[in-house]
Amino acid sequence: MGEKIISASGRPTIDHAGPEAVAEAGALARAWQARSLLVRYPRAIPAAIFLAIAAITALSVYAIETNAKQSSRAEVRDYAQSIASALERRGNNFSSYLRAGAALFASIDEVSPQTFSQFVAELRLDQNYRGAEGIGWIEVIEPGSSTAYLARVRASQPDFPDIRPPASQAGEVIAPVTYFSPDTSRNRRALGFDMYSEPVRAAAMEEARRTVMPTASGRIVLAQEGAGEAPGFAIFMPVYRSVPQSPTQDRALAGYIFSSFNAGQFLDEAIERSPPTELGVRLYDTETDNRHLLVSRSTGAAGTDRFELPVNIANRDLVLVIDSADVRGLAPLSMVTLMFGISLASLLMLILRLLARQAREDEERIAFFEEQNSIRNSLSQELNHRVKNTLANVLSIMSLTRRRASGLDDFADSLEGRVRALSATHDLLTGTDWGTTPIRSVIEAELSHIVSGDAAELVLEGPAVELAPNDALSFGLAIHELATNAAKFGALSVAGGMVSIRWSLESDCLAKVEWSESGGPLVQAARQRGFGTDLIEKIVAHELKHKVELDFRPEGVRCVICVPVRRRSEFQMRKVPAKGQGL
């Protein structure tokens, strides 16, 4: 099995790793890489995820809308086909009945009102075939026989009108409407109307006579409409009778059986069901322009999709046009998809932003822990170094004190005083977090245990100078030894004695301290060298790296000590962060 190691930076590493540890470390490395990307690009990655999901959502909505439009077009196409089929079916039905009527009327010598009424009654036109004005009979006569025609017809229909237009405006043949069913006041307007007098009707009748088939006319205004403008059309079927004993022809045109249609009603009856969407429905005669428009129906605003279907009514080509309305807005499924996509993208973006913030905080926390660990290591090393230095100083002091002590009590008192001097300076350094310590504070701390009351006069004078921690310890020991000697043998041992301690800056990196005693007992020229002298001239001079001038003058001891003034960067373990900044 391998051993997994997490580095100080929080990144996974492996040492003597087996397969399982390698796989786990790889997964951790990938996870760390992903978190690092979130930290490096806290806005770009969430925005990219949002845009990617938004693009997928847009493509989904586009696909749904495209499919919906195709489905709608298919529905409209099917709907248009159903209308076209219904129109042709109705046209074919009426053509069939006109054929049957033509066959019946061709077999008799004269179409009487009774015969016509019986034929129409059998058709049950009012019940089965909506959309047509009815069925009529047109008798073809010569222009000179119009008077005899009117007399014969008025014998059965006393209120039959005159032929119109007048015979003087008629052509070679007159074809007035003789009968029309159902018999209504509106349909009576068509009686007596000469169909050959109107070119469109005449053209359709001539085509029917030529082909002997039901033939629809072009766009006309029905005679029933009077002054109305509602367009329509008519279907004509010729009726021929045999001519016995005729050397030139075997049959003659007796007339036409026809059916007229109001185009609007004819189209409305073909529209059996509601449209699938908003549509525009138009029916044209042969060409799709306004001159040939038969009828227009709209169930909504005109749209962009246009369908044209040919419709054949009694051998005449009509055009059915369907305009599907432009449906505004999205389909319900598209709206649901869009809302879901936007919600999901927003949620993921929010989650990624939170993860990015958490990753950034974790990285800052790891960096903080790394720095704290480095500081802790530095503090441990510094503390170990300072403890060793302090213990070395204590051992040296003990060794030298033991050599100079006259007895156990003297040894204990001397050692205690010197340890107190170290302790006093340590207290000062602790109070400043082992930063710089004012030189005045070191002097006052060492003198406070020796000088009390008004037994002597002290003069402390000098500029503000800050000492490094180790320099302050060594300087404090020197001041302690000088003060102890002055208290025992010098100016501090008698009333009226004075100790003057003055310091000045020799340069930016060196301070000069002068200890001067006066007013005390005379200093003997012949004296025994003590521990204090050795401590100041050897240990203190060595620690401060400058020679100490110690002069035992008759009027009092004079000592000059040079103390280094160091820059903070020369002894501090780490920079103190500025206010408002983190570690």
What DSSP string runs through 205-236? HHHHHHHTS-EE--SEE-GGGTT---EEEEEE
Rounded Cα gap, residues 312 and 92, in angstroms = 9
192 pLDDT exceeds 80? yes
Whether the CB-CB separation of 15 and 2 falls below 8 Å is answered with yes
Per-residue pLDDT tens over the stretch 426-449: 766 666 666 788 999 888 888 887
pLDDT at 103: 92
Helical ranges in 489-556 per DSSP H: 531-534, 541-544
Contacts from 307-310 at CB under 8 Å and sequence distance 24+?
A: 307/76, 307/77, 307/80, 309/80, 309/81, 309/84, 310/84
Rounded Cα gap, residues 252 and 36, in angstroms = 104
Residue 515: pLDDT band with limits 50, 70, 90: very high
The neighbouring-strand residues paired with 550 are: 559
Mean pLDDT of the chain: 79
Output the CA angle 288-293-296, nearest 5 degrees. Answer: 105
pTM of the model: 0.54
Residue with more model confidence, 210 or 79? 210
Residue 365: pLDDT band with limits 50, 70, 90: confident
Q: Range with the lowest mean pLDDT among 111-125, 389-403, 512-526, 540-554?
A: 389-403
Q: Range with the lowest mean pLDDT among 21-30, 66-75, 453-462, 490-499?
A: 21-30
> What domains appear along the chain, each with residue ranges and CATH number?
87-268 (3.30.450.350), 405-570 (3.30.565.10)
461 pLDDT exceeds 80? yes
In whole angstroms, what separates CA 468 from the centre of its chain? 60
Residue 312: pLDDT band with limits 50, 70, 90: very high
CA distances from 64 to 67, 429, 473 (A): 5, 78, 85
Q: Range with the lowest mean pLDDT among 54-58, 141-145, 376-380, 488-492?
A: 376-380
pLDDT at 351: 82
CA proximity to 164, closest of 128, 201, 192: 192
Which range of 2-11, 13-22, 527-536 scores highest in mean pLDDT? It is 527-536
Q: Range with the lowest mean pLDDT among 114-128, 201-215, 307-321?
A: 114-128
Percent of the chain with pLDDT over 90: 22
Output the six-digit token pair for 115.
Answer: 């015969």
Rounded Cα gap, residues 415 and 212, in angstroms = 150
**Euclidean distance between the first and the last CA atom of the chain, given in angstroms as a whole number:** 38
373 pLDDT exceeds 60? yes
Length of the chain: 583
Three-state secondary structure call for residue 449: coil
Report the amino acid identity of residue 172: E
pLDDT at 279: 78
Outline where DSSP puts E strands in 7-60: 12-15
